[in-house]
Amino acid sequence: MKKLYTYFLLGLVALPIAGFTGGMIASEKAHAATKSGKKGSSANFYGRLWVQYDNADASSSNNQKIQSVRDNEGMGRFGLKGKSLVGNGYALNYKVEYAIDLGDGTSTSDSSTSCNDARDCRTFSLKQGWLGMLTPFGQFKIGSVESPYKFMAKHDILHDTISQARDTRMISQGSMSHSSYWRESIYYELKSGDFKFAAIYGLGEQYNTVTNKDTGIGIEYKNFFIPGFDVVYARNKDNSVTGAGNQNYNEKFTLTKTFKLEGKRKVKVWYMNEDVGLDSKLFTGGNADGEVDWYGIQYKSGPMTLQYSYGESNASEGSTYDRDGYNIGMQYKLSKSSRVYIGHSSSDAGSGDGSNGDISSTMIGLRHDF
């Protein structure tokens, strides 16, 4: 698999180089409006209201059956975003976005009920907050941002709900993977046609931040040789993990194919392989690392999207620490700005994984965007 990663990266980097000049010309055209010297600014207030009823069951001693109305994953949001044109192809842009939970009034997890830590009792919690610059040579951001690992090839329609794949340990989670908000960081992104490259560098060493000198990259190529065929490679590295035998990175490789059917219907299938060394929730034991294979299919027809995905892990600690599971769900658009979600997720742990145990959840949620 590592040789495949190497060949894949060489191919992704080599292909856009041949057409890079054309991509830069396209980028110049995209900034033509600002090249005239005209200046202006825009600001948009936006948000997402979210409520869900969930029934979750974890067989470990730490988690009992829970029935509640909550949003501990941060689906509910409100924020402000905009940009200010500078001219000559340049513009300043920004985003400030907070999570909010309409169910229990606390934007963080269930640990907030004890209020042992003031950060666990916040009504609002920052998701993204950055100030950046758009240039003819790419985009720069500074602040609290999403890593490429998180947002590239994000397929789960149940993402940020209690029934998402990462919550039931089917794929990785945490600051170095699919829950990856990096604080005190610098981000760079370059687009050229169907090719996108992104890199992130962490500067912070404060509480609940990414460690100083941590790095991440993401490479995405849409319509790779075949229309509707997309490939993604992403990697996050933790600079603080040292010592022989300690893997200091997470790495993923994703293949996606979208088929267009009659009547504007679509079928999307995907496969993702993760090499995980930085997720103690996904893999426990002395060697908290291993590999994950995740398969999924979505069917979209009109306002309805159906999904089924299956994940299985191979733990370095041994087969008794392996886990497999699935999630199934539906998203139905009631209007342009409102939709309903239904989902169920379940995963089974090996006999050695007593700290996590089997996990299952069922939920129904209602979302409104503005």
What are the tens digits of pLDDT across the range 56-101? 887 654 445 677 787 777 789 999 999 999 988 899 999 999 999 8
What are the tens digits of pLDDT across the range 262-321? 999 999 999 999 999 988 778 877 777 899 999 999 999 999 999 999 999 998 888 888
CA distance 52 to 8: 40
CA distance 162 to 362: 8
Position 3 scores a pLDDT of: 52
Buried/exposed 84-121: b ≥16 CB within 10 Å, e otherwise: ebbeebebebbbbbbbbbebeebbbeeebeeeeeeebb
Identify which of 97, 91, 105 has the alpha carbon closest to the alpha carbon of residue 46. Answer: 97
Walk along the chain (370 residues) and give the pLDDT tens digit of each residue.
Answer: 555 555 555 555 445 444 443 444 334 444 444 444 456 789 999 999 999 898 888 765 444 567 778 777 778 999 999 999 998 889 999 999 999 988 878 877 654 445 555 456 778 889 999 999 999 999 999 999 999 999 999 999 998 888 999 888 899 988 889 988 899 999 999 999 999 999 999 987 655 556 788 999 999 999 999 999 999 999 999 988 876 667 889 999 999 999 999 999 999 999 999 999 988 778 877 777 899 999 999 999 999 999 999 999 998 888 888 889 999 999 999 999 999 999 999 998 887 766 567 889 999 999 999 9
Residues 6+ apart with CB under 8 A from 144: 126, 127, 128, 129, 130, 181, 182, 183, 184, 185
The C-alpha angle 36, 41, 44, rounded to 5 degrees, equals 140
Position 337 scores a pLDDT of: 97
CA distance 300 to 332: 10
* Pair 54, 67: CB distance under 8 Å: yes
Residue 318: what residue type? G
Position 112 scores a pLDDT of: 44
Domain boundaries defined on the chain: 2-369
Assigned architecture for domain 2-369: Beta Barrel (2.40)
Position 157 scores a pLDDT of: 94
Roughly how many angstroms between the first and final C-alpha of the chain, as a whole number? 43
CA distance 348 to 354: 11
